[in-house]
């Protein structure tokens, strides 16, 4: 091997980063130079062994996490118990909220955006029924793959499975990126999962979409979403001021009420 064999050049050759002319020149040199052949073989095996080593490490780590979770009963926990725990937690949260509200009623508190969000945020469960029905009645579903179906995603959403609904809606949106209904319900699922940034991005687009049937709802949810974001009070106020003046909006009273609670 010539003394000036460039290790970096060998790596670029092995990773396929060389341009055609450079590669051809390198291969011509490789054919004549046994030491270079040896160096390439050495580097190839060394890099391969390093890759394999990291791969084995990843496999072991995943296996270890899997075993640990198994020992902790993560896989065994029956859903009914999990649901029961969730329900108890929810009941405790409601009681705590009730006590909180009672206390707040006696003594006007400072505005708490998180509390306001939990008071006013209700995932839409009325209009989604009509949408699911319309998807069925126009024979939309049979044309689609089951996993891509908007209807299936909305059924999951209606059932409160926001995590799964979110996955289905994202898959659906890859094929139908302009579908406002899917974007809207994905945003609501994200709100339910406390994923405020992506939800705000989707809702701000829908809040400006004049042809969208749930545009005002999108504005309302956008205002709520802003409450949970850093520096979100002013943008929330701007949206709420508009909704509070809109008599055709079914949550006008709630928009006014929330607007009054916002600190000046």
Partner 1 sequence: MSTEQEWLAELRAGKKSAYEALYHRHFRMVESLVIRLGGGREQARDIFQEALLVLVQSIRKPGFQLTGKLSTLLYAIARNLWLKRKAADKIPIQEAGSLSNLPAGEDGEKAALEKEALIQLVTESLGQLEDDCRAVLRYAIYQNLSHAEIARLMGYTEAFVKVKKFRCLEYLRKIVRNSNLL
Binding site for partner 1 (CB under 8 A): 7-8, 15, 41-42, 45-47, 49-59, 61-66, 68-69, 74-75, 147, 161, 163-164, 166-167, 170-171, 174, 195, 197
* Residue (45 or 238) nearer to partner 1, CB: 45
Distance between CA atoms of residues 121 and 104, nearest Å: 19
Q: Which of 203, 198, 200 is nearest to 215 (CA)?
A: 203
* Residue (58 or 89) nearer to partner 1, CB: 58
* Residue (12 or 256) nearer to partner 1, CB: 12
* Residue (126 or 231) nearer to partner 1, CB: 231
HSE-CB at 149 with a 13 A cutoff on CA atoms is: 19
Whether 8 contacts 40, CB under 8 Å: no
Which sign does the torsion angle of CA 103, 106, 111, 117 carry?
positive
* Residue (78 or 108) nearer to partner 1, CB: 78
Q: How far is the CB of 54 from partner 1 (least distance, A)?
A: 4
Q: How far is the CB of 103 from partner 1 (least distance, A)?
A: 33
Distance between CA atoms of residues 185 and 173, nearest Å: 11
Neighbours of 225 (CB within 10 A): 30
139 torsion bin: left (phi>0), alpha (psi -120 to 50), beta (else): left
* Residue (107 or 174) nearer to partner 1, CB: 174
Q: How far is the CB of 23 from partner 1 (least distance, A)?
A: 17
Q: How far is the CB of 76 from partner 1 (least distance, A)?
A: 9
Residues with Cβ within 8 Å of residue 60, at least 6 apart in sequence: none
Distance between CA atoms of residues 109 and 101, nearest Å: 10
Q: How far is the CB of 178 from partner 1 (least distance, A)?
A: 16
Q: How far is the CB of 8 from partner 1 (least distance, A)?
A: 8
């Amino acid at each position: 091997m010539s003394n000036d064999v460039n290790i970096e050049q060998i790596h670029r050759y092995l990773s396929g980063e060389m341009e055609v002319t450079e590669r051809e020149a390198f291969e011509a040199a490789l054919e004549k130079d046994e030491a270079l052949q040896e160096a390439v073989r050495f580097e190839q095996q060394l890099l391969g062994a390093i890759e394999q080593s990291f791969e084995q490490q990843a496999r072991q780590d995943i296996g270890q996490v899997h075993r640990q979770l198994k020992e902790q009963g993560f896989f065994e926990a029956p859903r009914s118990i999990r649901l029961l725990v969730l329900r108890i937690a929810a009941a405790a949260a409601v009681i705590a909220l009730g006590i909180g509200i009672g206390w707040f009623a006696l003594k006007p508190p400072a505005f708490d955006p998180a509390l306001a969000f939990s008071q006013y945020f209700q995932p839409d469960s009325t209009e989604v029924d009509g949408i699911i029905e319309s998807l069925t009645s126009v024979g939309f579903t049979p044309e689609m793959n089951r996993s891509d179906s908007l209807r299936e995603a909305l059924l999951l959403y209606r059932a409160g499975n926001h995590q799964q609904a979110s996955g289905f809606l994202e898959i659906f949106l890859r094929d139908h990126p302009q579908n406002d209904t899917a974007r809207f319900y994905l945003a609501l699922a994200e709100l339910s999962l406390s994923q405020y940034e992506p939800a705000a991005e989707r809702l701000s687009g829908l809040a400006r979409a004049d042809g969208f049937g749930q545009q005002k709802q999108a504005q309302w949810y956008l205002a709520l979403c802003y409450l949970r974001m850093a520096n979100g009070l002013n943008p929330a106020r701007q949206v709420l001021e508009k909704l509070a003046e809109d008599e055709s909006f079914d949550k006008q009273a709630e928009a006014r009420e929330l607007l009054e609670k916002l600190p000046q």
